[in-house]
Amino acid sequence: MEEHMINLFEHIPYKDIGIAFLIFLVFFLISKIFTKYILELITRIVTKTSKRIDEYIIKSFKQPVSLFLIATGLYLGLHYLPLSANAIHFITKIYRSIIIILIGGGLFRFSNATKILFNHVSTRLNLQFNKIIIPFLTKIIKFIVIALTIAALANEWGYNIDGIVAGLGLGGLAVALAAKDTVSNLFGGLVIITESPFTIDDWIQTPSVEGTVEDISFRSTKIRTFTQAVVTVPNSTLVNEAITNWSRMGKRRILFNLQLDIHTPKDKMVNCAASIREMLKSRNDIDQETILVHFYQFSPSSLDIQLYFFTKTTTYDEWLEVNEQVNTEILAILEKHQVDLAVPIQKTYNVEGIPSFKKHSAEDDYTMAQERTHS
């Protein structure tokens, strides 16, 4: 190969080689000037506008344009030389292949701007796109760009694309059988996108995992658990499970029993429940559609008032704050009405068989646990 190249340039006058090198040098300098000054000027102008898509186009094709000018200078320089027709034909094929690769590379980089493009379309047409669709479409666009670039290169070098496609068709059954799980995961991903049971950043719960959705790909979905571990679940598994999307709650429930001392007078208990009900109705952060505060049941050592209501916020930390504020106000209401919370009562018998009652404490629990341990 080296001897062939030496023989190729052996009979070319130094003058022609110098002119060819000068042509290449001119285009090389144009490339540097274009990149450093002209493109920088265009970038500064575009940055001042609100259209980020224009800025992304410049960033994506900045390097390909520079390399295109250098490749063009090299091609024109070599084309100027008195080379054989076969050599010129080979150089032209390489030049055309470089252009295909540069266009494909620019489009591949520009595919990252899919999110900006969709945001622009949604703003103009007042449409809403699921967060999952954008990264999924970005991956599909990148795959299409790579496939078209490879197909264009194969066609440029004389490979029969139809034959390759036919070969893939003949081997399609074998590939489908070998990649059965991959295909099922791909269709699982499509089901997740079309039915949209959840989107990125949603808090979901399934029989196998609970956490926040971070990403969805062709094969799997990544979920970050509340212990900060990332669990990768195959899409085929995910779509066949019951999915609870906690982020889709319009409001968040609070349900508990307020256990009052069993000796609380009826009037105090009723007034206490009414005060709690009015307090909940006066709060702006409580959903007013469902507020239930009622005497619920008799327990062995308490009178139970059940509270059933919803907060307007569904965010967990905000929900905790509302819950804390409500509980604090309930304590203030109990103090106002002089009502005590229930304390567990232990029933004992003396030697004559007469029952007596003793309030149960944490110290009693500890003593009994020690006695059971030693026995």
**What gap in Å lies between CA 272 and CA 55, rounded to an integer?**
64
Residue range 124-135, pLDDT digits in tens:
545 445 556 667
Residue range 291-307, pLDDT digits in tens:
999 999 998 889 999 99
Question: Out of 1.10.3720.10, 2.60.40.10, 2.30.30.60, 3.30.420.40, which CATH number does the structure's domain 196-246 have?
Answer: 2.30.30.60
Is residue 362 scored above 50 in pLDDT?
no
Q: Which residue has the higher pLDDT, 192 or 102?
A: 102
For 93, the token pair is 């094929």
Residue range 126-161, pLDDT digits in tens:
544 555 666 777 777 888 888 888 888 888 887 766
Mean pLDDT of 232-246: 88
Task: Yes or no: say if 31 and 24 are a contact pair by the CB < 8 Å rule.
Answer: no
Residue range 249-336, CATH number: 3.30.70.100
Q: Is the pTM of this model over 0.85?
A: no
At 156, which amino acid appears? Answer: E
Residue range 315-360, pLDDT digits in tens:
888 999 999 999 999 999 999 999 999 887 655 555 555 555 455 5
Place of tokens 């575009």: 46
Mean pLDDT: which of 49-53, 158-162, 211-215, 278-282 is highest? 278-282
Residues 6+ apart with CB under 8 A from 9: 17, 81
Task: Yes or no: say if 302 and 259 are a contact pair by the CB < 8 Å rule.
Answer: yes
Q: What angle do CA 333, 336, 338 make, to 5 degrees?
A: 105
Residues spanned by CATH 3.30.70.100 within the chain? 249-336
Q: Which residue has the higher pLDDT, 363 or 200?
A: 200
- The DSSP annotation for 5-23 comes to HHHHHHTS-HHHHHHHHHH
Question: Whole-number mean pLDDT of the chain?
Answer: 78
> Which residues on neighbouring strands pair with residue 293, listed in sequence order?
307
CB under 8 Å, gap of 24 or more: what pairs does 341-350 form?
341/258, 341/259, 341/260, 341/261, 342/259, 342/260, 342/261, 342/262, 342/299, 342/301, 342/302, 342/303, 343/261, 343/301, 344/301, 345/262, 345/300, 345/301
Residue range 19-44, pLDDT digits in tens:
888 988 988 888 888 777 777 777 66
Mean pLDDT of 267-296: 94
Residue range 182-207, pLDDT digits in tens:
667 777 777 777 777 888 888 899 99
Residues spanned by CATH 2.30.30.60 within the chain? 196-246
**What gap in Å lies between CA 279 and CA 161, rounded to an integer?**
75
For 87, the token pair is 């050599």
